[in-house]
A and B are shown apart, each in its own frame.
Chain A
Amino acid sequence: GAVVSQHPSWVICKSGTSVKIECRSLDFQATTMFWYRQFPKQSLMLMATSNEGSKATYEQGVEKDKFLINHASLTLSTLTVTSAHPEDSSFYICSARGSSDYNEQFFGPGTRLTVL
């Protein structure tokens, strides 16, 4: 089956630093990648959708200058949380979708970010 990896799986950083999270599709080409955030006991919240080679489309309320997304290749997307603050602490999950007609998204294992 399709495998999506994320790195790192967890990160603890000081307030004001920037954190980069990588999302890779290991055995398929991901034309579209999605970045989600999930706070405890809440559902997934879509942050942005990115297509390879083009700018990401951000959901309403998500600051594009704070959450930088780069989808430079068909197998890699990165999310950089710039100047992270404690309120950015969350579980960040990426998913990837190939070019099949059934639109299934394959999820990475998630990255737990804790900002002190």
Chain B
Amino acid sequence: GQNIDQPTEMTATEGAIVQINCTYQTSGFNGLFWYQQHAGEAPTFLSYNVLDGLEEKGRFSSFLSRSKGYSYLLLKELQMKDSASYLCAATDSNYQLIWGAGTKLIIKP
């Protein structure tokens, strides 16, 4: 079956770095997305990886290893506004998004 695993909740300190991991098993693979979702709002796009390696975009970076079925989202210089849920979603052979349950990130001062 198709499955996405990511931690349910993580806590980090303002100004620090946090890495949110995601493992996936899909029928075929056409890329992996990371979305940020604040409570009561729709998800917003953070990153897309289809090739192995690290993609850096400001304070956020995303890594993909296709052979390991593994990705991570790295957030640097954490700010209080980064408190949100982070959703990992893999695209299968039909270009359908398979969603993880999301990781709730709590930032403490």
Contact = CB atoms under 8 A, between A and B. Distances in A.
Contacts of B62: none
B96 A49 contact: yes
B87 A43 contact: yes
B6 to A, nearest CB: 10
Nearest to A93: B42
Contact of B45 (A91, A104, A109, A112): A104
Contacts of A42: 101
A62 to B, nearest CB: 14
Interface residues of B, number: 21
A36 to B, nearest CB: 9
Which label, helix, strand, loop or mixed, suits the secondary structure of the B interface? loop
B97 interface: yes
A104 B43 contact: no
A106 B33 CA distance: 12
B97 A105 contact: yes
A44 interface: yes
B99 interface: yes
A60 interface: no
B13 interface: no
A104 B48 contact: yes
Given A43-B102, A46-B97, A103 B91 contact: yes
5 contacts: A43-B101, A102-B31, A104-B33, A104-B48, A110-B42
Interface of A: 34, 42-44, 46, 49, 91, 93, 102-110, 112
